[in-house]
Chain A
Amino acid sequence: METQIVGRITSNPTFKELVSRRTRFAWTMTVLMLVIYFGFILLVAFGKGFLAMRIGVGVTTIGIPIGISVIVLAFILTGIYVRRANSEFDALTRKIVQEAK
């Protein structure tokens, strides 16, 4: 890519906005996923008693919905990211590409 175009895009306020918004969002989601997963792993390591607690009168323990929730949350977080990227970030990207021409 020509240096001139690179300079023009990096100094474009829309580009700066896209980068700062997406970077903040992507890393926030990453940290959230890390907290959820390693929280679960630490619970497995240190909180066996808690995970083994029964819900109500049956044999189902609290660990079952928590484990399933981590799987479901991973999918939901991915969905939230994709939804915002498909609309907001793609619109900003289109604007930058237009302005770079």
Chain B
Amino acid sequence: MNTKMSLLRLFLLFVKIGAILLGGGYVILPVMKAEFVEKNKLISEDDLIDYFAISQSLPGIIAANISIFVGYKLRRTIGAIIAVIGVTFAPFWSIVLLASVISKYLHTDFMQGIFWGVGIGVMVLMVQATREMWAKAFEDKFAYLIFFAGLGVMLFTNLSPVLVVISSAIIGVIYKSLINRGRSV
């Protein structure tokens, strides 16, 4: 595992990974395993699984996070930067091209019809994504309180979601500290 990968090769590999991902970052693990563990033997499977697990609990885009971890592991900071540019390359240009086509036809009946229908599909996807998060969101009953408090703030005030995130993190630390103290007394 000592062979150093050239930055160009690293970039091209991540361009390929970014282009393969469709609809979400969850298929990135098998793709990366094939490229970096099996084909090129550059990182161990254990490391990759660790990166995947930690990436999900870090802020930001999960697929970008894993790419940054792998890039950093292979070529330190410059590798991390190349990896994130690589993985965003194909999605970036595909959106830019697609958006310019769509904006041209946006006001046709044809496009309006598609978007009317797709708007319904998006609602289904939003509920589905919420349910997937819901399944992993609650460690105990107090966590439900955080959920409903957050939901209330978002629905009935105009406060920024950033505020909800920061206060829930603080509440988490206070709550866990209190529980810990309760146990040790």
Q: Do A and B originate from a single complex? A: no
Q: Which residues of A contact B (CB under 8 A)?
A: none
Q: Which residues of B contact A (CB under 8 A)?
A: none
